[in-house]
Amino acid sequence: MTTPKQATQAQAIPRPETGYRVAFVKPKEHYRRLKKEIDGAIGECLTEGDLIHRRQLFDFEKHLAEYVGTRYAVGLNSGYHALHFSLLACGVGPGDEVITVAHTFAASVSAIVHCGATPVLVDVGEDFNMDVASLDRYITPKTKAIIPVHLNGRLCDMEAIQNLCKKRGLLLIEDACQALGATFQGKMGGSFGHGCFSFYPFKALGGFGDGGAITTNDPHVARVATLLRYNGEDRETGEFHYHGYTALLDNVQAAVLDVKLRHFPNWVEHRRRMADLYKSELATVSQVRVPHFPDPRFRDSFQNYVIRAQDRDALRAHLRQEGIETLVSWAKPLWKHPALGLGEPKLPMTEAVCREVISLPMSAETTEEDVTLTSRAIRNFYARQ
Ligand SMILES: Cc1ncc(COP(=O)(O)O)c(C=O)c1O
């Protein structure tokens, strides 16, 4: 039987190093490169019996907070729970409206729904991120928070969004699940509001299973999330403060993530180099738009390299035939899944990008050869038309 999570994520789960000449991501190669360090870290946890809520978790939280530039980081079992707990800790509940985009993974919106609040979906701009200019007209007396989603490793315009939140008294929760390492005006994503991260295996910083974290400067949000993740219990006193959840970041995952975090800045630089190479390799192809948006305030981390392509589905079939693995996130706008009950918002840019987007191979293991092969196949496809 297909579970709900399998059904919604089916399109987003890359097949690892199958018969493709150019794999979308390379988890086996990723492990091979880090094997010694990772085996050491896991071995230490297992040898010492450090499985739940131990030093490795606290070390990772400390290092993550340092990297993002916040006072606190709270390790959780998913990006979904980071969003859900941030909203709960901010007091979002029934009767509230929360503004976010439809061009995102379902979890951004489900977290709002599971708090009993109403998601208000807005359109995106050319860079696939929240269209900030349109926000004002969606704000009502019921609006409690805004969740900008930093898609594909590019932050939203945080100057405009922070100013708006201040002016209108709104809470700011960042869906930074795709944006660890990306900056705006030199500041890391996840440090503007309450940051929500995912360490799903194919994220730029990925574990060997699900994982997530909240980064924040607010001691209240950090404390509530810390309690909620452990069924509401204060581990120091044994007192239960809430009906909570089982949502802790596993210690073994934290140990692995802590190893990877040390390499992470180099991986971001590698992604930027591969992105620049795609840009120059595809410069002559008028049928595709590459994701480079000249504005010196932004430094993207290229979690994904997403182009907009004419005849996207035919291009994708051609690339598959050429042995090149790609993804489409997402072919159908979220509100067109009737079971989600999101109404029928008019978001023309979201609809357009759903028809056109295709993600090209991109990971810390993507090579120059992968990029040139992929780009050549794209050029050939359009040359034959
Ligand atoms: C933009 C965005 N938000 C939220 C999530 C949810 O993260 P997780 O799968 O760790 O729950 C993801 C993960 O795919 C994501 O990409």
What's the residue count for the chain?
385
Burial-class residue 104 by CB neighbours within 10 Å (0-12, 13-18, 19+): buried
Contacts of 358 (CB under 8 A, 6+ apart): 306, 307, 309, 312, 315, 316, 326, 327, 328
Q: What is the 3-state secondary structure (H, E, C) of 58-77?
A: HHHHHHHHHHHCCCEEEEEC
pLDDT at position 132 is 97
Ligand 1 touching residue 197 (CB < 6 A): no
Closest CA to 106 of 210, 156, 170, 177: 177
How many angstroms separate the Cα of 243 from the Cα of each of 2, 89, 143, 227, 239?
Answer: 29, 13, 26, 9, 11
Ligand 1 touching residue 79 (CB < 6 A): yes
Q: How many helices (H) and strands (E) does the chain have?
A: 11, 13
**Among 121, 173, 178, 250, residue to substitute to test ligand 1 (most atoms within 8 Å of Cβ):** 178
Coil, strand or helix at 371: helix
Q: What is the pLDDT of residues 94-139, one digit of tens each?
A: 999 999 999 999 999 999 999 999 999 999 999 999 999 999 999 9
pLDDT at position 19 is 83
Q: State the Cα–Cα distance between residues 30 and 365, nearest whole angstrom.
A: 7
* Closest ligand 1 atom number to CA of residue 12: 14
Ligand 1 touching residue 184 (CB < 6 A): no
Tell me the CA–centroid distance for residue 249 and ligand 1, in Å. 15
* Tokens representing residue 72 in the block: 């606190």
* Closest ligand 1 atom number to CA of residue 198: 10
Instruction: Confirm if 171 and 92 have CB atoms less than 8 A apart.
Output: yes
Coil, strand or helix at 122: strand
Task: Enumerate domains of the chain plus CATH numbers.
Answer: 4-31+264-383 (3.90.1150.10), 34-258 (3.40.640.10)
Instruction: Confirm if 284 and 164 have CB atoms less than 8 A apart.
Output: no
pLDDT at position 385 is 87
Ligand 1 touching residue 210 (CB < 6 A): yes
Tell me the CA–centroid distance for residue 107 and ligand 1, in Å. 6
Ligand 1 touching residue 8 (CB < 6 A): no
Which residues of the chain are under the pLDDT cut of 70?
1-18
Ligand 1 touching residue 149 (CB < 6 A): yes
pLDDT at position 225 is 98
* Closest ligand 1 atom number to CA of residue 149: 1
Q: What is the pLDDT of residues 301-337, one digit of tens each?
A: 999 999 999 999 999 999 999 999 999 999 999 999 9
Ligand 1 touching residue 77 (CB < 6 A): no
Contacts of 221 (CB under 8 A, 6+ apart): 72, 86, 89, 90, 194, 214
Ligand 1 touching residue 198 (CB < 6 A): yes
Q: Tell me the chain's radius of gyration from C-alpha atoms.
A: 20
**Among 86, 100, 105, 178, residue to substitute to test ligand 1 (most atoms within 8 Å of Cβ):** 105
Greatest CA separation for the chain: 70
* Tokens representing residue 48 in the block: 């010492």
Ligand 1 touching residue 191 (CB < 6 A): no
Residue with tokens 């390799």: 281
Give, to the nearest 10 degrees, the angle between helix 106-114 and helix 79-89: 40
Whether the bond between 267 and the residue before it is cis, its omega within 30 degrees of 0, is: no
Tell me the CA–centroid distance for residue 176 and ligand 1, in Å. 9
Atom 8 in ligand 1: which residue has the minimum CA distance?
79
Distance of CA 345 to the CA centre of its chain: 23
CA dihedral 339, 345, 351, 357 (to 10 degrees): -70
Tell me the CA–centroid distance for residue 309 and ligand 1, in Å. 24
Strands (DSSP E) contained in the chain are 72-76, 97-101, 118-122, 143-146, 171-175, 183-184, 187-188, 194-198, 212-216, 288-289, 298-299, 305-309, 357-360
